[in-house]
Amino acid sequence: MVLILVRTIVLYLFVLIVMRGMGKREISQMQPFELAIAIMIADLAATPMAELGIPITYGIIPILGLLFVHILISIINMKSLKLRELICGKPRILIYRGKIDEKALRQENFTINELQERLRGNNITNLSDVEYAILETSGEVTVISKPEKRAVTLEDMNLEAKYQGIPYELVIDGNIMEENLRKIGKNYVWLKKEVEKFGYSPEEALIVTLDADGEIFCQKKEGK
Judge whether 139 lies within some domain.
yes
Between 216 and 53, the more confident residue is 216
One-letter amino acid at 83 equals: L
Judge whether 161 lies within some domain.
no
Q: Kindly tell me if the per-residue pLDDT of 4 is higher than 70.
A: yes
> What pLDDT score was predicted for residue 1?
66
Residues 6+ apart with CB under 8 A from 119: 125, 127, 130, 133, 141, 143
> What pLDDT score was predicted for residue 195?
94
Between 196 and 24, the more confident residue is 196
Domain boundary among 36, 60, 86: 86
Q: Are residues 78 and 11 in the same domain?
A: yes
The CATH code of the domain that includes 135 is 3.30.240.20
The residue among 17, 58, 67, 16 whose CA lies nearest residue 37 is 67
> What pLDDT score was predicted for residue 34?
77
Judge whether 154 lies within some domain.
no
pLDDT in tens, 141-159: 999 998 887 777 777 777 7
Order of all β-strands in the sheet with 175-176 = 175-176, 168-172, 205-210, 216-220
Judge whether 159 lies within some domain.
no
Judge whether 14 lies within some domain.
yes
State the chain's mean pLDDT as an integer: 84
Instruction: Report yes or no: 133 and 93 within 8 Å, Cβ to Cβ.
Output: yes
d(CA 92, CA 86): 14
User: What is this structure's pTM?
Assistant: 0.60
> What pLDDT score was predicted for residue 216?
92
Judge whether 155 lies within some domain.
no
Q: Could you give the number of structural domains in the chain?
A: 3
Query: What is the residue range of 137's domain?
Result: 92-149
> What pLDDT score was predicted for residue 179?
92
Q: Are residues 80 and 106 in the same domain?
A: no
Domain boundary among 53, 86, 119: 86
Query: Average pLDDT of 79-100?
Result: 84
Structure confidence at residue 224 as a pLDDT band (50, 70, 90)? low
User: Could you tell me what percent of the chain has a pLDDT over 70?
Assistant: 93
pLDDT in tens, 22-81: 766 555 566 777 778 888 888 888 888 777 778 888 888 888 888 888 888 888 878 877
d(CA 16, CA 82): 32
Structure confidence at residue 197 as a pLDDT band (50, 70, 90)? very high
Judge whether 163 lies within some domain.
no
Could you tell me how many helices (H) and strands (E) the chain has, helices first?
8, 8
For residue 69, what are the CA distances in angstroms to 41, 42, 43, 123?
A: 12, 16, 16, 38
Between 100 and 166, the more confident residue is 100
d(CA 15, CA 38): 10
Judge whether 210 lies within some domain.
yes
Q: Are residues 142 and 194 in the same domain?
A: no
Cα of 134 vs its chain's centroid, Å: 20
Domain boundary among 86, 120, 136: 86
Between 199 and 30, the more confident residue is 199
Q: Are residues 81 and 99 in the same domain?
A: no
